[in-house]
Structure 1
Amino acid sequence: MCILSLMRLCFSSIVASVVQKLLLNFVRRPQIPSNGSHPVFSDDGGPGVLQRVGSAAANFVLLPYYTFNYFVSASAEGTTSQLADNSLLVLLILIYYRKCISMNESIPTDGVYMSDSNTNVKDAPAFHENPYCKALNNAKDIQFDHADVEGNAQNGPVVSLSFASLFDALGTCLKDESSVLLLYSLVHGNCDFQEYVLVRTDLDTLLMPILEMLYNASRKTSNQIYMLLIILLILSQDSTFNASVHKLVLPSVPWYQERLMHQTSLGSLMVVVLIRTIKYNLSKLRDVYLHTNCLAILANMGPHAHKLSAYASQRLVSLFDMLSRKYAKLAELKNDKALKVTPDQMEADIISDDTSTELHIYTDFLRIVLEIINAILTYALPRNPEVVYAVLHRQEVFQPFKNHPRFNELLENIYTVLDFFNSRMDMQQLDGEWSVDKVLELINKNCRSWRGEGMKMFTQLRFTYEQESHPEEFFIPYAWRLILSRGFSFNPGAINLFPVEIHVDDSPSSEQKV
């Protein structure tokens, strides 16, 4: 019996029970019971679970209730971990299953399907609704009132567990890729859990493992990096989150090797790691999607920056410098191509078009970085003297773009700040040369008198995450790769994820990102 048939036959109470048990296994990491079992018949003498769904299907749905040979290991600790890990993998299989309704099937009239809203309904691919995914998305915190947790008659049973325990378990296990996918599923699909995360005061529990993995991006797959960045992007959409990360001070960051970081804010660390990820991507992956996500997170954080560290401030200005040098090389290359006449004009035109496209992309990147710096100086200058110092120290990097039509309005604000503080330095009677401490002292003193006169107010950038029209093309293969890599005894040759028409002349398409 296929999983879809199982979904259709299972009652909502079974679905909620399965999802809850799998989550509890992940959270509690229990030892495997010596003889786990589940009743074939119900207590009232009616048909039991196995009879209702069929024994083969029930073996899969009731996986969290059974003890399997491949869960067993030599030690109790290993056994506990194996049961929790495999429960998570089974949960991912269930929530990321999608059955496409073929053209020969009639589209259900009961609303139990999903379709692409950008396509004509007649031609749109439709999918049976996944009850396991719905159960996860509707899961409630058991700390709330029981009346809210249990649900009402029309909605049926609701998955309920401690969000606090789930939050802590995720923080402990986030170095595992499947746990990252579960966290994404929760913060994207479950509004209650997302709100719970956003009000936590110990956001470092989740963010530190995420930032450490991004710090080690060279050891991660592109899919892992995407998932981590999307989680940060979803969280950064909330202004409370952006304010909180800048107020949470970390005593140290032991895994950061380039320099010692003592008493730095979580927000400053995020800025440093995101910029480091951009630089890694620029040199290795060269992925526009990854660049955009990193810059989107930084843009969401910009207006809420608070006491950004010296190192983070320097990295931000250096990012503009790095992108500007890449922009200058592309502009020079485009000009050279325009002046040259080659025998194969078509090939020359293709090269010129590619260069123009890349130049346009870097123009957009530079503008976003300028928007980030501008937002900090416009909305949070008195709280960020180190950003002012970094801009003053590297003010020459902005000069080539002062009259650029895409950048001049933003640079007018930056030069308003530069003129204000440069004039204060010129007015200062100083014995000897300027030092870093003396410049910072002057900046701190004049930050108190800063009123923002002459600054133009721009609409704050706010980036949001939206899944593409067919997210199943990414998530279903991704989830199954995770499952198969952990030794589950499925036959890969028997797995048919999508009904596709095979064309001999067609080349395989690249994997779609989120």
Structure 2
Amino acid sequence: MGSNSSRIGDLPGNEHLKKFSGTESLSENDPFWNQLLSFSFPAPTSSADLKLLEEATVSVRRSLVENNPRTGNLGALIKVFLSRTKELKVSAECQNHIFIWQTHNALFIICYLLKVFICEMSEEELLLHFTYEEKSPGSYSSDSEDLLEELVCCLMQLITDIPLLDITYEISVEAVSTMVAFLSCQLFHKEVLRQSISHKYLMQGRCLPYTSKLVKTLLYNFIRQEKPPPPGAHVFSQQSDGGGLLYGLASGVATGLWTVFTLGGVGSKAAAAPALSSPLANQSLLLLLVLANLTDAADAPNPYRQAIMSFKNTQDNSPFPSSIPHAFQINFNSLYTALCEQQTSDQATLLLYTLLHQNSNIRTYMLARTDMENLVLPILEILYHVEERNSHHVYMALIILLILTEDDGFNRSIHEVAQDLNVIEEVIRMMLEIINSCLTNSLHHNPNLVYALLYKRDLFEQFRTHPSFQDIMQNIDLVITFFSSRLLQAGAELSVERVLEIIKQGVVALPKDRLKKFPELKFKYVEEEQPEEFFIPYVWSLVYNSAVGLRWNPQDIQLFTVDSD
């Protein structure tokens, strides 16, 4: 790395990296940092390229791990980054490409090292490396400063406060990526973490006041789906007079391309670019889901989940109750539109589920919409193309439909829309197959299901004569007829408890050989009392598979099973 364009293959012998990871302590004011941060090479965007980057920097990382506790060079780099972020907003307004370019490069190195160190070290070792010591000539002792919390707070400020422009797009993505990397310790534990440095820094102390602003910004990043700047937007020309650049940067550094690691640059091949139309929106959504699914701290609930549960529409002028922390407002119409348009991805469907399940304001708003078909049809498409989706995505789509159908108004409004859709037949049949499987394989465990079938028997009238459902309706009809007869024999004015008692008695008497056998359906049971056992591995599997510019060695992952590269 340095003022000349670099290739990944050149990194092991790079003199600037050797000095950074070596035995010499570098002050945060050393001109060396301008040289180290003036690098530009085609971005590794694919998993294969990111793997090459990791392999090419093994010797540098090992040297840094060995020497940094004494040199404090990583801490010095963080101090350089922190000092630069104070001028980012002004630099963006002044279109200072070089300053932002170098600041981005500093954050890229920090993110990369943070990700690797979290994977390879204990929390105690990690904190040791993220401690900065102000060296005094001739002094053997000094005051140390823990920079990790300061870094996290700075990242939250960068994400929420820096205006999103062409020249700030990449550093905004990198800031979100670094937050994801900071939280990635969960990947390397089989059990759900309930206490970690993530909990320590994000749920209390200096970072807590940024909670609502961060959640709001991440949601708006998802809503806006801002595309990265076009190739060539960051090309800047060489300074003809050789002067005037910040920190005495040599004029030769300004030649070449504005190349970013996470998104590719002008010189990148089209095939290497990510398929995502908005890397910032994707990365922001993943971070939001990770934050929302953090377990509660020992002495405080998850503030990010609290923010997601309580935000309101910008058109809602009613005051927030004083008991609701981290409250904010957002444009519900824009959010609804984005959710309708993005349901092809697991993470967007999971966000929809999270909002419907946890935020009553959103749920009420959506159910009152007169264009619910715009949301329901994409969900039905997930179920219709079930063979193309993973089981978790299908599961979330089904749960969303169940949540929506709890509302009678929704059922009435959507019926006319859905009756002419071919896709609805597949969905109805799937639901009937689930009911049929419960009746034929575990009827004695499902008295409440039988009760519901009897109570809502009129709903099934329309399916009996439909050619797509006649076979699957045989068992359901048999069960309804059998138990209806037993209830008639028991007399009128039966209590709920008495009806359930009759059903439980009737289960024993029902001739099982009269039930038609169908291929057994298999479903994954999810423990409702501890939803984090399902959602946290699911969210991190989405991060592992979908995050931009972040790669973890599959052999290191403990939270879930992954295939090797």
Using structure 2 for the length normalisation, give the TM-score.
0.45
Using structure 1 for the length normalisation, give the TM-score.
0.49
